[in-house]
Amino acid sequence: MTRSRSGGDRMTIVLAVGSLRLGGTEHQVVKLAVGLRDRGHDVHVIALRYGGPLRSALKAAGVPVRVFAYDGVRQRDGAGRLSPRGSLTHLGRLLALWRYFRSLRPDVCHAFLFGCYTRVLPLAWAAGVPVRVNGRRGATPPSPLGVRREILDFLGRRASSLYVCNSRAGADELVRRERVPARRVVVISNGVDLPDTVADVEGRPARGIVVANLIHYKGHADLVDALTLLARPPKMTFVGEGPERDALTRLVGARGLTGTVELTGAVPDARPLFLAHQFAVLPSHQEGLPNAVLEAMAAGLPVITTTVGGIPEIVTDGVTGLLVPPRDPAALADMIERVAADPGLRLRLGTAARRAAEDFGVPRCAARHEAAYRAHRW
């Protein structure tokens, strides 16, 4: 067995993320931190920019957290002019992060998402951290090209000794588009907690749930359009917050669905809400490997979702859920109507979904990460 820098089997592992606000990646970082700690490792979490409500979950689990409050080196004053003083302050925060690595001397630094791995991994590399993991959660969102972006891309790639993707689709894209050698890419699916009980999917009338940030590419507007096509649309709960809230509220009202669609806002933990519904929907236009789908499956819910990203890797059409093309309200409406009207179908799909979710338990996810870290020499 590969031994850590301290000479034992216990590794010191730093998980780095942009913030500890509510989001799929952030929830996965918490699960992974606790799972690795439970396997006997010394785990630390750093938030490059912000703290957030998930910090308390880490604290309760005994995982140390440090927030660096870095917000970019191109700081501006109230008039929009570049602020040398502000820039120096944030450069100092990057220096503090380098000193943190030098002091802690971790065996592994695993950084998640572009804004984090392009800043954190180069500093970890400069500080001598042996294993530097570039965590990919799906397709990198498009952004304007430019010298600054190219420099960040270059630094992030140069500083990465291993890439971990949460779906085969994401890994294939990484190899194809960014020309990362396949030998340096590992696929490890998200981890999910398995509740002791499952939802009463045969309950009537059937009610659906969507757990996703209110962002345009999550497809909430497509779902509203689909409900409009149904003579008797089932009630739907939208759980999440984001920039599309006002637009969705107006759309729901304009389509006469105010009594059908409930926007609850964000919640720290949506898992209990899955247990109070009969089916789940995720109509996304793009995804990596969505936590919401796995959590719905773990709760024994049939899931109606789209054929994007890594979703077809976890949902088998007609067996553990139902798949539809993205941006197709008519197809989505047909599947919602079918599932809402048939408790037997919901029970069959939901039972199979729960069984499939057991392969994605947090302990297995943590063990797979540990094995990937150990496979790289230091």
- pLDDT value at 2 more than 50: no
Name the one residue in this structure whose structure tokens are 């804004």: 115
Q: What is the DSSP string of 87-150?
A: HHHHHHHHHHHHHHHHHH--SEEEEESHHHHHHHHHHHHHTT-SEEEEEE-SSPPP----HHHH
Rounded to two decimals, what is the model's pTM?
Answer: 0.85
- In this predicted structure, the answer to whether residue 157 has a pLDDT above a threshold of 50 is yes
Q: Is the pLDDT of residue 82 over 50?
A: yes
Q: What's the mean pLDDT in 346-373?
A: 96
Nearest partner of 115 among 71, 81, 159, 146, judged by Cα: 71
What topology does CATH give the domain 12-191+361-374?
Rossmann fold (3.40.50)
For the ranges 87-91, 134-138, 225-229, the one whose mean pLDDT is highest: 225-229
Rounded Cα distance, 282 and 84, in Å: 45
Tokens of 78: 């109230």
Domains 12-191+361-374 and 208-360 share a fold: yes
Strands in 108-112's sheet, in edge-to-edge order, are: 65-67, 42-47, 12-17, 108-112, 131-136, 162-165, 185-187
Share of the chain above pLDDT 90, in %: 81
Select from 284, 281, 240 the least CA-distant residue to 264: 240
pLDDT tier for residue 150 given thresholds of 50, 70 and 90: confident
Which class does domain 208-360 fall in? alpha beta
Q: What are the residue boundaries of the structural domains of the chain, listed by start?
A: 12-191+361-374, 208-360
Q: Return left, alpha or beta for 265; rule: phi > 0 is left, psi -120 to 50 is alpha, else beta.
A: left
- Taking 80 as the threshold, does the pLDDT of residue 143 lie above it? no
**Among candidate residues 188, 194, 212, the one with its CA nearest the CA of residue 112:** 188
Cα–Cα nearest to 114, from 94, 135, 91, 97: 135
SS3 350: helix
